[in-house]
Structure 1
């Protein structure tokens, strides 16, 4: 199932993508409208949505809705650094002994089709195409062999990075958390549709130039190891997003540097999931205070 968050007629809710249509979760008034609430409801919510899919009713053309990130405001957004051998090699750093995580502040999250802002304070704007997964149930101290059970689904992430701000702090958080620098989407694919999350082709284009071309089998720490590790520290909750690292080919390591510029488009494709596409624009002048 491909779970989606969208807005239609000024109402935001969840649904399922079938071909070029959305099965509108609004067709079952018992279904939660927010993705985190939907995931928290567990199997009963999935079964109710599947009944709507099977009924063939409550359909909307994808072209007629506004698509959002599948989890527009996750409770946590954690990302792992240096998790592909070829990316470690291009950075010149050492392979980590343990998984190393940083936070992306959740106000950075946007959906496919929304613009990435090049910030006024830096021109060192970079892309990182990544597989991400979303937690589906509240959990702590998850054994490695059971970690697959707590994943609600998989999506695509662009861990947009402002490299000079990233370098200013050992935590990297500020350089990873600018507004609009957390594209996710276009939807959340449930695990039953992903045969092996650790054998998926991942590619990133800037305009028509292929910049990244790898496979998730090259991860150092896989998705299940990440869950087992993180859940020793904190309670993971429905809707939490975990990005699994980027392969080689990032702009900062190109010669000359391949930083993103306004007018360019970043397109990330992961086998079995789909395509996340965002254009780059200058950060608007407007100051929003409310």
Structure 2
């Protein structure tokens, strides 16, 4: 299933709805109260009653999650990205947070603050947790995965790399475009072997495969759950492959009017435009 959060474009109140994408052009609303996080906690999501159907062009897609308890991001998790970043291969996962203020959706505009002069892109496969996970054994870790989405870990390098911690350069408003939907885990045979890529104004900048992850999804779920209780709707963003703007020669920084498309095989393409504050 492809699950979305949306509102009808004609709805002046912009009431949030949760729906299922059918085919390429239709969204069918689910008759549920609440947000996607509430739907994820439903015992049998396929039993939910369906409501009105809309054409995709009649709705505005939001981030498929707008209220997760946690967004845990993994840094330096592709070997070649570690090299281009001039850093050491980590012995344990490198963690940093993003927050709900960062989440925006398909075709939303990413505003680059006036303070930021080195804005960068990072396509990532994001994992959505489906049930409470605490001290999960490695062999059972995938049982706790609800689905997958695409996340662009937008980064202000001039802030991130010039302060003791990364948070202020990573958790800027709108710096976690996510979507366009969540694909449920049963639709992805092997999340450890998916093509992952990103284009900037139509030019390919990143092109890799999730099999290059240093720490794979089962390891991350188990590792994190040892000390952090994961809740339904939590997001784990698994890191970015090589090709970020910081690693280019000459370096490439996002600017007003740039269009970024982040793609993960089997999930879809997340598209956003960047604008100067």
TM-score above 0.5: yes
User: 1:217 corresponds to which residue?
Assistant: 211
User: 1:7 corresponds to which residue?
Assistant: 7
Secondary structure in structure 1 of the residue aligned to 2:271: strand
Q: 1:161-215 CA distances to partner (integer Å, 9 max, x unpaired)?
A: 0001101334311100111101000000001110100100011000011000000
User: 2:37 corresponds to which residue?
Assistant: 36
Secondary structure in structure 1 of the residue aligned to 2:65: coil
Q: 1:12-36 CA distances to partner (integer Å, 9 max, x unpaired)?
A: 11010011101111xx3xx233111
User: 2:168 corresponds to which residue?
Assistant: 174
CA contact (8 A) 1:6 1:66 kept: yes
Q: Does 1:23 align with 2:17?
A: no
Q: Does 1:106 align with 2:100?
A: yes
The 5-angstrom pairing of residues 158-197 of structure 1 reads 158-197=152-191
Q: Which whole-Å CA distance do the structure 2 matches of 1:242 and 1:164 have between them? A: 24
CA contact (8 A) 1:127 1:158 kept: yes
Structure 2: segments with no counterpart, 5+ residues: none
Deviation for aligned residue 1:130: 0.5
Q: Which whole-Å CA distance do the structure 2 matches of 1:165 and 1:82 have between them? A: 17
CA contact (8 A) 1:73 1:107 kept: no
Secondary structure in structure 2 of the residue aligned to 1:11: coil
Secondary structure in structure 2 of the residue aligned to 1:239: coil
Secondary structure in structure 1 of the residue aligned to 2:16: strand
Q: Which whole-Å CA distance do the structure 1 matches of 2:5 and 2:206 have between them? A: 28
Dislocated runs of 4+, deviation >3 Å: none
Secondary structure in structure 1 of the residue aligned to 2:169: helix
Structure 1: segments with no counterpart, 5+ residues: 284-290
Deviation for aligned residue 1:119: 1.0
How well do the aligned residues superpose, as a CA RMSD in angstroms?
1.2
Q: Which whole-Å CA distance do the structure 2 matches of 1:40 and 1:247 have between them? A: 31
